[in-house]
Each structure stands twice: as structure tokens, then as C-alpha cells.
Amino acid sequence: QTVVTQEPSFSVSPGGTVTLTCGLSSGSVSARYYPSWYQQTPGQAPRTLIYNTNTRSSGVPDRFSGSILGNKAALTITGAQADDESDYYCVLFMGGANWVFGGGTKLTVL
């Protein structure tokens, strides 16, 4: 069974930079899994941030960026703002319309 791993929580200071990662319990994440990232605040629908590893969705500020770092997908927030405090989820497309979400990272900005 495929398990996608994310840091359960992370903290960043306002104006700081944070990198959240998305890994596989067995193996490496690469662009072939089309990693995408979603931001969710409580009670709200997820908002698409990044798709296809590093493409920002329409309207997403350029302080959000995606990449592959080593054997993981990564979401970097540069110049964190208070309203970036949210849950962040990555999802990998495993082929055959099989999608696996990571457990999510709760980001605190303080």
C-alpha cells in the first residue's frame, strides 16, 4: 500500500521561508507522479496551489513555489504571511486514476 508522507506540523515566522515536503514511504517522488499541492483552512474547500510539480494555479501568489528536492516533492513559501496559516496537502497521481494524498501539514505562522 502506497503511503505519502508529509510533516504533521511546521511553524514559520512572518516573513520567513518554509519548505514542506511530500515523500513516499517506499521510493522517490518524481515528476512522473504529477505532484500537486492544496491549501485548506477549516470548514473550507481545498484551494489548488501547485500542479505538475511546479506550476502555480491561477491567482496563486508567486511566494508559493513547487519543486522536487532530493527524493521528495516540495512546497516552498517565501515571505510567509499570517493568512498562510492553513493545512497543506500534497497528492500524487499513481496512474490508473489512483490518487494518494499525504496526511497534510498544519502550518502555523507566528
Partner 1 sequence: QVQLVESGGGVVQPGKSLRLSCVASGFSFSSFAMHWVRQAPGKGLEWVAGISFDGTKKYYADSVKGRFSISRDNSKNTIHMKMNSLRAEDTAVYSCAREWELLPYFDFWGQGTLVTVSS
Q: Which of 20, 72, 84, 104 binds partner 1 (CB under 8 A)?
A: 104
Q: Which of 22, 73, 91, 107 binds partner 1 (CB under 8 A)?
A: 91
Shortest distance, position 107 Cβ to partner 1, whole Å: 14
Give the Cα separation of 52 and 57 in Å (integer).
10
**Interaction of residue 100 with partner 1, rule CB under 8 A:** yes
Q: Looking at beta carbons only, is 42 or 82 nearer to partner 1?
A: 42
- Using CB under 8 A as the criterion, what x/- string covers residues 44-63 for binding partner 1? xxxxx--xx----x------
CA 69, 99, 67 angle in degrees (round to 5)?
15
Q: Residue 79 phi/psi, 5° resolution?
A: 75, 55
Shortest distance, position 106 Cβ to partner 1, whole Å: 10
Q: Would you state the torsion angle of the CA atoms of residues 64, 10, 104, 93, taken in this order, to the nearest 10 degrees?
A: 50
